[in-house]
């Protein structure tokens, strides 16, 4: 099956929002073994949308639409597709009831145009929207499948993953199972990882192994097809073991894990507390950890000490140390880590300092980062990074490397880590 993803919305063409939906859908389709050869974006214009549909039909068996299912006049996806396919639109009772209840609970009047969101293509299979109002749908005609999804990612992503994807898998596999497992790596580049597992990539059949790089991380998606879930998982487990034998030292998690979530998980599992003193990251390390539920039992506090004076006044770092070594130095990072650990009486202290860019200060090149980690009463350890990229990219990578190094240190000291 070959697919085309067709995003509808003039705001995409104007650059007002980014088409993250296409990236998400493509990644999900790759797990099913569906080829995506084209991404198309078209504005809120009936004629141009119909032309885009006609072109897509010449080169795809599956056309997935995102956007244009809302209540306003420029939401024209359903109407255009219905006219193009020669089918009528009908109201879905379940969706309409949900919309009516939504407004009733909030004590707001429901305008007539909101009823438009409950319209579906006659004869289509409805995809429930548990995070918004407009339902999605799957419609098949002349051996071609059309899937309509809402535009907001918070609605589209769960709808596709839990409603549309299982139906596509059943269509493809005649009732069989397609299972997928994502291995997440850090501290190794995409090129090096691919070289190390090249023999596996060259010999892949079932399961398939697909590498993907994003934001300094590398993932391998292992996908298996089988008659049963148990058989598929066994195929995956065998292939995962082969990969881990080659690059397992760099694996930090699986599936939806993140470096921050695994760091928090490790802290909680081992009843460890942490505090951070941040300069170039300006609180980003603490913010990333704070997104993880339950972190309050591990993250005790922290300080943002951007200026040299703040490091002296808030952390008690000596002026002599800064005058001698500078704020972007191993000595300063170590002092920050130790000082913040003592200040908040935690097991772990983190010190982050460096040059995020775009201009250099303190006679250090842009991208220079020092990470300090103090664990209990041990002498703090420091790590030097030379990052290249935009300012905020460097800040985020500094945070990720901090999580990576911290988990390595804790594991080396015998603290438990889940995979």
Domains of the chain: which residue ranges? Answer: 1-170, 175-252, 257-411
pLDDT in the model for residue 339:
98
Question: Tell me, what's the pLDDT at 68?
Answer: 92
SS3 content of the chain, % helix, strand, coil (to 5): 45, 25, 30
Confidence category of residue 256, pLDDT binned at 50, 70, 90: confident
Tell me how many degrees the CA angle 285-287-292 measures, rounded to the nearest 5: 105
pLDDT at 175 over 70: no
Identify the CATH number of the domain defined by range 175-252.
Answer: 3.30.70.2860
Phi then psi for residue 4, to 5 deg, are: -130, 135
- In this structure, of 96-100, 277-281, 373-377, the range with the lowest mean pLDDT score is 96-100
pLDDT, tens digit (0-9, with 9 covering 90-100), for 129-164: 988 899 999 999 999 999 999 999 999 999 998 899
Q: Which of 286, 322, 328 is nearest to 303 (CA)?
A: 286
∠ CA 212-215-216, nearest 5°, is 80
> What's the pLDDT at 216?
79
Question: pLDDT exceeding 70 applies to what percent of the chain?
Answer: 99
**pLDDT value for 296:** 96
The radius of gyration of the chain from alpha carbons, rounded to an integer in Å, stands at: 26
Q: Are 117 and 70 in contact (CB under 8 A)?
A: yes
Distance between CA atoms of residues 261 and 256, nearest Å: 9
* Closest-CA residue to 362 (of 311, 298, 415, 416): 311
DSSP 360: -
Q: Which CATH architecture has domain 1-170?
A: 3-Layer(aba) Sandwich (3.40)
DSSP E strand stretches across 59-207: 62-66, 89-91, 119-121, 125-127, 136-141, 144-149, 177-185
Give the burial class of 97: count Cβ atoms within 10 A of its Cβ; 0-12 exposed, 13-18 middle, 19 or more buried: exposed
pLDDT over 90 (residue 226): no
Phi-psi region of 123 (alpha: psi -120 to 50; beta: other; left: phi over 0): left
pLDDT at 180 over 70: yes
Contact present, 238 and 222 (Cβ < 8 Å) = no
Q: Please state, in angstroms and rounded to a whole number, the distance separating the CA atoms of residues 256 and 148.
A: 25
Rounded Cα–Cα distance for residues 416 and 399 (Å): 22
CA angle 216, 289, 306 (to 5 degrees): 85
Task: Report the C-alpha gap between 14 and 151 in whole angstroms.
Answer: 16
pLDDT at 406: 97
Q: In the predicted model, what is the mean pLDDT of residues 197-209?
A: 91
pTM, full prediction: 0.73
User: For the segment 327-378, what is each residue's pLDDT rounded down to a tens digit?
Assistant: 999 999 999 999 999 999 999 999 999 998 777 766 788 899 999 999 999 9
What pLDDT does residue 31 have?
A: 76
The pLDDT value recorded for residue 122 is 96
pLDDT band at 305; cut points 50, 70, 90: very high
2-8 sheet: strands from edge to edge:
35-42, 2-8, 62-66, 144-149, 136-141, 125-127
SS3 125: strand
Query: Look-up: residue for tokens 């090096």?
Result: 192
The answer on pLDDT for 174 being more than 80 is: no
Q: Which among 187, 209, 251, 181 has a CA at the least distance from the CA of 418?
A: 251
pLDDT of residue 362: 66
**Using omega within 30 degrees of 0 as the cis cutoff, is the peptide bond preceding 58 cis?**
no
Mean pLDDT value across the chain: 92
Spatial neighbors of 72 by CB under 8 A, at least 6 apart, are 113
Three-state DSSP class for 290? helix
pLDDT > 90: percent of the chain: 74
For 51-88, the pLDDT digits (tens) are 999 999 999 999 999 999 988 888 899 999 999 999 99
On the question of pLDDT at 177 being above 80, the answer is: no
- Given this model, what pLDDT does residue 48 score? 96
CATH 3.90.950.20 is the classification of domain 257-411: yes
């Amino acid at each position: 099956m070959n697919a085309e993803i067709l995003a509808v919305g003039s705001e995409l063409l104007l650059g007002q929002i980014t088409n993250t939906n296409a990236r998400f859908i493509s990644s999900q389709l790759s797990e099913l073994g569906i080829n995506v050869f084209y991404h198309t974006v078209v504005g809120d214009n009936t004629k141009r949308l119909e032309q885009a549909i006609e072109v897509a039909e010449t080169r795809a068996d599956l056309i997935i639409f995102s956007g244009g299912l809302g209540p306003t006049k420029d939401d024209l996806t359903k109407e255009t597709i219905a006219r193009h396919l020669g089918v009528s639109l009908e109201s879905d009772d379940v969706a309409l009831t949900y919309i009516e209840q939504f407004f009733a609970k909030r004590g707001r009047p429901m305008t007539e145009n909101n009823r438009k969101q409950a319209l579906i293509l006659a004869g289509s299979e409805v995809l429930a929207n548990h995070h918004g109002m407009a339902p999605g749908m799957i419609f098949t005609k002349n051996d071609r499948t059309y899937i309509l999804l809402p535009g907001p990612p918070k609605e589209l992503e769960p709808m596709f993953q839990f409603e549309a994807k299982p139906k596509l898998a059943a269509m493809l596999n005649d009732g069989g199972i397609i299972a997928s497992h994502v291995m997440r790596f850090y501290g190794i580049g995409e090129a090096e990882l691919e070289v190390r597992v090249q023999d596996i990539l060259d010999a892949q059949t079932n399961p398939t192994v697909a590498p993907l790089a994003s934001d300094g991380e590398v993932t391998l998606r292992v996908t298996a097809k089988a008659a049963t879930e148990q058989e598929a998982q066994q195929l995956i487990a065998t292939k995962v073991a082969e990969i881990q034998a080659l690059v397992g030292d760099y694996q930090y998690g699986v599936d939806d894990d993140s470096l921050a979530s695994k760091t928090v998980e490790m802290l909680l599992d081992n009843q460890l507390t942490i505090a951070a003193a941040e300069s170039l990251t300006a609180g980003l390390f603490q913010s990333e950890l704070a997104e993880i539920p339950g972190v309050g039992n591990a993250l005790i506090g922290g300080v943002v000490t951007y200026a040299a004076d703040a490091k002296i006044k808030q952390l008690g770092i000596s002026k002599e140390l800064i005058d001698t070594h500078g704020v972007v130095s191993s000595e300063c990072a170590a002092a920050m880590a130790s000082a913040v650990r003592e200040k908040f009486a935690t097991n772990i202290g983190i010190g982050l300092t460096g040059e995020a860019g775009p201009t250099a200060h303190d006679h250090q090149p842009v991208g220079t980062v020092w990470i300090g980690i103090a664990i209990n009463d041990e002498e703090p350890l420091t790590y030097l990074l030379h990052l290249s990229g935009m300012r905020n990219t460097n800040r985020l990578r500094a945070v990720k490397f901090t999580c990576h190094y911290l988990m390595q240190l804790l594991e080396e000291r015998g603290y438990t880590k889940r995979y």
